[in-house]
Structure 1
Amino acid sequence: MKLAFGCDPNATELKQALIKEAERLGHEVVDFPSGDPIYANTAIAVAKSVAAGEEDRGILLCGTGIGVLSIAANKVPGAYCACVTDIYQAQRAVLSNNANLISMGAQVVGVESAKMFMDEYLSHTFDPKSRSAPKVDRINEYERGTLGTC
């Protein structure tokens, strides 16, 4: 799988640890620069790249994982970023929500936990015939402007 990684300056060390883990697992990595203090810039760049299909999935990191990275990434059409703080969320980000990006906080989760969450997230594939598919379809319809009445 081809993965995009991006972070703000607060999460550079965590990003490097996760990149090493992803490469160890055999994934191809695209490392977006992490020096920009305006972290929304990095989040948007990664989200646009993933949404365009240049990478299969993305991993975004900042201090909390929820702030601007998760919020900014989700402003990009075709980007679906879930903030992950445990194994169950990492699993359900894909299985229930077809998230193509996840975010984590370097000040919230430790390195070993973050590796486990990323590994879990990457080990699943969304089933378009699952019970969750109509829910995900509804979100996609809204985004495309083709949503009928609810």
Structure 2
Amino acid sequence: MTATGQVGQVGQVKKVQVTFDCADPERVARFWCEVLGYVVPPPPPGFDSWGDFDRSLPPERQGSAFACEDPTGTGPRLFFQRVPEGKVVKNRVHLDVRVGRGLVGQERLDVLEAEGARLEALGATRVRLLTADGFNESCLVMQDVEGNEFCLD
């Protein structure tokens, strides 16, 4: 039963949106578009661009949100919302960008390092390389343009 007392549909997969709190939603969204191959969705009907839409909002709402989405419709939509406070602690949830799936050893490390270098050129920060330990394969811990942790794995 759901909180409203209705019986939910068992086994029905729900779409999710991943929301990021940040200072500059458009900047962070465009970074993630580059990381994931996502795109900025079209502006709302009646607007030629997101800039036009943004200028139609009250001044305090301008620049307060931005989004990007998987052009195939498979992955979750990412939504970025402006918040007044800065990031102060480690994320409790993070994205794993699966660039090394199926690869092991040096081949995996080479792919992680190459993608890490590409993302550093976009403004990401390298945090540390976690090398394979017999249970987990290697992954590269990074931060996006506002310090949100993510892993290349």
Provide TM-score, normalisation by structure 2: 0.28
- Tell me which structure has the larger Cα radius of gyration: 2
Provide TM-score, normalisation by structure 1: 0.29
Q: Higher strand proportion, which one? A: 2
